[in-house]
Structure 1
Amino acid sequence: MSSLGMALLNSLDIGLLLFVIAVGLNIVFGVLNVINFAHGALYMLGAYLAYTCMTLLGMSFWLTLLVAPLCVAALAVLIDRIMLRFIYQREISDSLLLTFALLLILNESVRLVWGTGIHVIDPPPLLQGTAALPGGVTYPIYSLFVVAVGLIFVCALWFLFNRTRVGKIMRAAALDRDMAQVLCINTKLVITGVFAFGAWLAAVGGVVAAPMRAIDPGMGDKIIIESFIVVVIGGLGSFPGTLLGAIILGLIYGFGGRFFPDVNLILPFVGMAIVLLLKPHGLMGKGAST
C-alpha cells in the first residue's frame, strides 16, 4: 500500500507540475496557432531567475515566485513585438523555425550569463521536511505544495476560460481572429497578452521546480519534450486535454519509475506513439472524435 501510495503521489506531483508548464504551450498554440519551441527555454529562465533572486539578491521564495515570472512575461512581450508579430499570419512552419532559433538564442544567453555549471536552491523553510500521510506514507512537504499549486492552477484556469470576460475574448480570438476584430476586440493586444501569459506559466513552473530539480542549461530541452508529449497525448489546443495528458504522463513516470525503472525513460514515447496510432488528434484534441 505504501509503494502504491508513493507512486500515486509522485504521479500527481509530476503530472500537475507538467500541466502548469504545458498548458502555457497549448494556450499559445490554441490562440496564436504557434508551436513555441522556446517554451522550455522560458521555463529554464524562470528557474535561473529564481536562483538569482534567492541566492544573489536575497529575496524570499514567495517574492521570487511573484517577481521572476513577471520578468519572463515582460521578456515575452518584447519577443512578441520584435520577432513573432511578423510571422503570425504565415505558415506554421515559419513559427517553428523562428521559435527554434529563439530557443538556441536563449540557451546560449543563459550559458553566457550563468555559466554551464549546476545550481541548486533550497525550498523555503515553511515547506522543508516531510509529512506523515495516511497509509504509512511519508512524503516531502514541498512536493505536496507542488500538487496544491497544480490543483489551484487547474481551477483558476478553468474559471478564467469559462467564467470571465478575458477568457471569452481569448476563446473568441482563437476561434476567429478576424471576426473578433470586427467585434472591436483588440486582437494585437490579445495576441501579445496570450504569448506573455504562456511565458508567465512556463516561468511559474520553472520557479516551482527549481527547489526540486537541478538548475542547468539543459533543463529546458527536457521539459519542452515532456510538454510536447503532454499536448500530443491530450490534443493540441485543448485545455482539458492538457490536464489529461499531464496526468497520464505523470502516471507513466510515477508508476514506471517505481515498478519499471529500467524502461521508464522510453515509456512516455511508447504512450505517445500508442495515442497517435489510435487518436491522431490526441485524446481530446480538435477532430479527436472523427
Structure 2
Amino acid sequence: MGSLGLAVLNSLDIGLLLFVIAVGLNIVFGVLNVINFAHGALYMLGAYMAYACMDNWGMLFWMALAVAPIGVAMLAVIIDRLMLRFVYEREVTDSLLLTFALLLILNESVRLLWGAGIHVIDPPVLLRGTVTLPGGIAYPLYNLFVVAVGLIFLAGLWLLFNKTRVGRIMRAAALDREMAQVLCINTKLVITGVFAFGAWLAAVGGVVAAPMRAIDPGMGDKVIIESFIVVVIGGLGSFPGALLGAIVLGLIHGLGGRFLPEVNLVLPFLGMAVVLLLKPHGLMGRRASA
C-alpha cells in the first residue's frame, strides 16, 4: 500500500507541474491559434533566469520565483511584437515553423550565456527534508509544495476564465476575434497579453521544477514533447482537457515508473496513440467545424 501511495503522490506531483506548464501552451493555441513550439524554451529560460537571480544577484528562491517569470513574460512581449504578429492570420504551420526556429535560437542563446554545463538550484530552507504522511509515507516537502502550486494555479485559472472580465475577454477573442473588435475589445493587446501570460506560466513551471531537475540547455526539449502529449490527450484549446491530460500523463509516469520501469519511456506515446485512435480530438477536445 505504501508503494502504491507513493506512486500516486508522484503521479500527482508530476501531473500538476505538467498542468502549469502545458496549460500555457493550450491557452495560446485556444486564443491565438498558434502552436508555440518555443514553449519549452520559455520554460527553460524561467529556470535559467531563476538561477541567474540566485547565483549572480543573491536573491532568495522566493524572489527568483517572482522575478524570473516576469522577465520571461517581458521577453515574450518583444517576441510577439517583432515576430509572431506577422503569422497570426496565416496557417498554423507557419507559426509552428517560426516558433521552432525561435526554439533553436533560444537554445543556442542559453548555451552562449550560461554554457552547456549543468546548473543546480537548491530548494528553499523551509522546504527541505521530508514529511511523514498518513500511512507512514515519507515524502519530500518540496514535492508537496509543487502539488500545492499546481492546485493554486488550477483554482486561480478557473476563477480567471469563469469569474473575471479579463477571462471573458480572452474567451471572446478565442471564439470570434472580429466580433470582439466590433465590441471595442483591443484584440492586439489581448493577443500580446495572452502570449506573455502563456510564457509566464511556462517560466513559473521552469522555476518550480528547477530544484528537482538539473538545469541544462536541453531541458526544454523534453518538456515541450510532454506538453504536446498533454494537450493531444486532453484536447487542443481545452482548459479542462489540459488538466485531464496532465493527470493522465502524470499517472503514466508515476505508476509506470514504479511498476513498469522497463517500458516507462514509451508509455506516454502509447497512451497518446490510444487516445488518438479512440478520440482523435482528445478526451475533451471539440470537433472542428466544417
**Equivalent position of 2:106 in the other structure:** 106
**Equivalent position of 2:48 in the other structure:** 48
**Local SS of the residue matching 1:198:** helix
Unaligned runs of 5+ in 1: none
- Once residues 159 and 285 of structure 1 are traced to their aligned partners in structure 2, the CA distance between those partners, rounded to angstroms, is 21
- Once residues 255 and 206 of structure 1 are traced to their aligned partners in structure 2, the CA distance between those partners, rounded to angstroms, is 23
- Once residues 74 and 284 of structure 1 are traced to their aligned partners in structure 2, the CA distance between those partners, rounded to angstroms, is 32
Tell me whether 1:71 sits opposite 2:65 in the alignment. no
**Equivalent position of 1:148 in the other structure:** 148
- Once residues 239 and 33 of structure 2 are traced to their aligned partners in structure 1, the CA distance between those partners, rounded to angstroms, is 15
**Equivalent position of 1:157 in the other structure:** 157
**Equivalent position of 1:95 in the other structure:** 95
Per the normalisation by structure 2, the TM-score is: 0.99
- 1:158-184 per-residue CA deviation (whole Å, 9 max, x = no partner) reads 000000000000000000000000000
In the TM superposition, what are the counterparts of 1:1-290 in structure 2 within 5 Å? 1-287=1-287
- Once residues 190 and 222 of structure 1 are traced to their aligned partners in structure 2, the CA distance between those partners, rounded to angstroms, is 29
Query: What's the offset of the Cα at 1:16?
Result: 0.1
Query: What's the offset of the Cα at 1:214?
Result: 0.3
- Once residues 250 and 80 of structure 1 are traced to their aligned partners in structure 2, the CA distance between those partners, rounded to angstroms, is 31
**Local SS of the residue matching 2:94:** helix
Query: What's the offset of the Cα at 1:57?
Result: 1.1
- 1:34-69 per-residue CA deviation (whole Å, 9 max, x = no partner) reads 000000000000000111111121101111111000
Query: What's the offset of the Cα at 1:132?
Result: 0.4
> RMSD across aligned C-alpha pairs, in angstroms?
0.6
- Once residues 99 and 76 of structure 2 are traced to their aligned partners in structure 1, the CA distance between those partners, rounded to angstroms, is 12
Runs of 4+ in 1 over 2 A off after TM superposition: none
- Once residues 64 and 121 of structure 1 are traced to their aligned partners in structure 2, the CA distance between those partners, rounded to angstroms, is 11
- Once residues 286 and 186 of structure 2 are traced to their aligned partners in structure 1, the CA distance between those partners, rounded to angstroms, is 26
Per the normalisation by structure 1, the TM-score is: 0.99
Unaligned runs of 5+ in 2: none
- 1:104-129 per-residue CA deviation (whole Å, 9 max, x = no partner) reads 00000000000000011100000000
Q: Aligned partner of 1:34: which letter?
A: V
- Once residues 29 and 268 of structure 1 are traced to their aligned partners in structure 2, the CA distance between those partners, rounded to angstroms, is 22
- Once residues 3 and 252 of structure 1 are traced to their aligned partners in structure 2, the CA distance between those partners, rounded to angstroms, is 15
Q: Aligned partner of 1:95: which letter?
A: S
Query: What's the offset of the Cα at 1:236?
Result: 0.1
Q: Aligned partner of 2:86: which letter?
A: F
Query: What's the offset of the Cα at 1:221?
Result: 0.3
**Local SS of the residue matching 1:131:** strand
